[in-house]
Amino acid sequence: MIHNSNNDGNHSDRTSPRPASPPEPSREETFSLQPTRSGEMTLLWEGRFLHSSVAPRREARRLAERVLQEAPDALVILGIGLGYHLEELRRQAPSLPVALVEPSRELLDLSISHNGQTWWETYRPDLITTPENLEDLTLHLNQWGSYTPALVVLQGVARHCPGEEQNLRETLRRYQKRREVNRNTLRRFGKLWVRNTLRNLASSGRTWGNSGKSPSEGIWPGIDDLAGSLPGVPAIICGAGPSLDTVLPNLAILQERCLIIAVDTALKVLQREGIHAHCAVVADPQYWNTRHLDNINSREKTIVVAEPATHPRIFRLWGGAGVLAASLFPLGSFIDHRLGRTQKLGAGGSVATSAWDLARLMGAREIYLAGIDLGFPGSRTHCKGSFFEERLILRGHRLEPAEQGLYRYLHGAHAEPVPAARGGSLLSDKRMEVYRSWFAEQARQHPDVTTRLLTPESSAIDGVGLICPKELEKQLDPGPENKEPPALAVDQVLARILKTVSRRKTMPQEILQGLRESLTKVHTIARQGAALCQTLQNHRNIDPRDLARLDRIDQLLCSCSDRELAGFLANQGLEEAAAHAPSSPREAVAQAREIYSALSQACTYHQDLLTRYGLDSLK
């Protein structure tokens, strides 16, 4: 939602009222205060009004009303001016978090000086940042749980800073698209993530007390031992995109000079060519993705890096060494915290993004992407020999050949042309755009890490360069004076880590006991709240003292440190219940009942799974 001012718009802890590193003006800026007919002051920036020249406070009030009509869940202001619009937005929506993107330090100082410190302490934003530090903005929006932030732009500021305005709009557009994808993914896979996590707990828990457990049993340790293990060693991330076929001969040479990290879809293809990945990243919760690891040889040479909600078949199938990244979900985090797993991997929606973050975590400062096409070069979806391609061929028949399935895959996702790394274009879809945005954002956030594409057929990514594989071979050639291949250091380090991570642990009973107790506590409070709401709805009139009873139940719920266990699956119901502000006590009670019911149902789902997988009786 974009709002422009025209002349005729659950708080987190507030940050410092000044930007940490405000930009210095590129030239001397001229500001002047001028009285208006209404008796209020307006502001000119190099001769241009930032507010109304007649009644700036009335203008700000109307702007705030227009902004809030669209029910945003956060406010982003570009340029403070004299703060009229900031004050009105704070007055009319005191519960909404506000971020100020301020392009001028001098203007910010002037506004605070003009209004006074008391005014500033009353209305200051929750976040102040600069146009050069928009990553901080998206980080806070994510922490606030915002899906629909409103952008409020002063016309005068927009005229002086058109580039900053355009960049801010584009940043918010990408943020909202990514949040929407994440929300849809949660709705689609939320229960599956919970179910997989508990199934994986069950399979590890059954080894308690057994001295002779099989290699596939027990809990995988965290990825903490991998952190910083190979500082300065270049890494190649291998995906199963069509362009992987073109660089397989080069990878056979480069594997002696680089850390090779494969996504699950590419592991078998690499092994067929004699390329043994040092690490393989697996994160998908669905069964069909486990098939990429069928009939894998040389497992002793590869460490699988997975996530606690990965499909259980992976843990049964993989007999080699494996480690777990700390979970991004509340249930997994509950377990990780008690097992000492702390290191997480970035999640941009694709296994390739997690693989990139693994390379960075291990110490790589040069990361190369091979077969990470984020599109469909040559109207193909995967490289030759991938499970997806083989499955498509096996399922084809006379009335529905493989080409028909490929056509549906390409065009069912509404593929559109996007720029290719070598020039020209290739087909891609909106889902891939989210992944490209993630890589581009990492390039900005980690300037010390250089990322390049090895495959020119891949889609172009902002901030990611392109290098010829032959050129990379020359750059990484150890030379005749260096008889020891660089890969030897990688092999030695990983061999040491392999010995460590091969020792799997058993699940302490205290963790499951704590999980059961936390769910029971939240469930009891939620049922009490729902029952009270039902009683109040039967009353002819709702007494304010009854609402105070609901407040006490809310406080009990907020005191539960593990309430997010249920809130994770209840998220959709909570959002729908809180979509509209109640206009009467009766509506407030109805809304509260929906919230308590959603939490109660989520607790019941978890508890039923504990019973189904025998986790409520393991000793």
pLDDT at residue 487, as a whole number: 57
Tell me, what DSSP letter sits at residue 22? P
Domain-located, residue 396: yes
Please say whether the beta carbons of 148 and 96 come within 8 A.
Answer: no
Cα–Cα distance, 129 to 71 (Å, whole number): 24
- The residues that bridge with 428 in the sheet, in sequence order, are 416
**Could you tell me the residue range of the domain that residue 156 belongs to?**
2-160
Cα–Cα distance, 200 to 317 (Å, whole number): 13
Shared domain for 397 and 328, answered yes or no, is yes
In the structure encoding, which two tokens stand for residue 282, read together? 């697996």
Shared domain for 423 and 558, answered yes or no, is no
Shared domain for 292 and 435, answered yes or no, is yes
Shared domain for 494 and 514, answered yes or no, is no
Cα–Cα distance, 91 to 95 (Å, whole number): 9
Shared domain for 497 and 534, answered yes or no, is no
| Of the residues 501, 523, 540, the one at which a domain ends | 501
Domain-located, residue 181: no
Domain-located, residue 186: no
Going by their DSSP bridges, the two strands 2-5 and 31-35 should be labelled as unpaired
Shared domain for 297 and 279, answered yes or no, is yes
| Of the residues 138, 160, 182, the one at which a domain ends | 160
Shared domain for 513 and 495, answered yes or no, is no
Shared domain for 553 and 494, answered yes or no, is no
Please say whether the beta carbons of 277 and 238 come within 8 A.
Answer: yes
Domain-located, residue 618: no
| Of the residues 113, 135, 160, the one at which a domain ends | 160
Averaged pLDDT, groups of 10, the chain, 619 residues long: 42 40 49 80 78 82 88 90 89 91 87 89 92 89 88 81 88 87 81 89 51 51 87 93 93 91 92 90 88 76 89 85 88 86 85 94 95 88 75 69 68 80 88 88 92 95 94 80 56 71 62 87 92 87 80 87 84 70 80 89 90 69
Domain-located, residue 403: yes
Shared domain for 481 and 533, answered yes or no, is no
Domain-located, residue 171: no
Shared domain for 452 and 325, answered yes or no, is yes
Residue pLDDT, tens place only, 339-387 = 888 899 987 778 999 999 999 999 999 999 999 999 888 878 888 877 7
Tell me, what DSSP letter sits at residue 219? B
Residue pLDDT, tens place only, 334-348 = 888 888 888 999 877
460-472: b (≥16 Cβ within 10 Å) or e: bbeebebeebeeb
Cβ-based neighbour number of residue 156 at 10 Å: 21
Domain-located, residue 129: yes
In the structure encoding, which two tokens stand for residue 377, read together? 């070069």
pLDDT at residue 218, as a whole number: 63
Considering its fold, how many domains does the chain have in total?
A: 3
Q: Look at the block and give the residue holding tokens 């009285």.
A: 35
Judged by DSSP in three states, 488 sits in: helix
Judged by DSSP in three states, 78 sits in: strand
In the structure encoding, which two tokens stand for residue 268, read together? 């078998």
Residue pLDDT, tens place only, 581-590 = 677 888 888 8
Shared domain for 575 and 491, answered yes or no, is no
Domain containing 109 — which CATH number?
Answer: 3.40.50
pLDDT at residue 216, as a whole number: 45
Domain-located, residue 212: no
If you write DSSP's letter for every residue of 292-360 in order, what string do you get?
A: GGTT---GGG-EEEE-TTS-HHHHHH--S-EEEPBPSSHHHHHHHHHHT---B---SSSHHHHHHHHHH
pLDDT at residue 459, as a whole number: 94
Shared domain for 365 and 468, answered yes or no, is yes
pLDDT at residue 202, as a whole number: 73
Instruction: Please state, rounded to an integer, the average pLDDT across all residues of the chain.
Output: 82
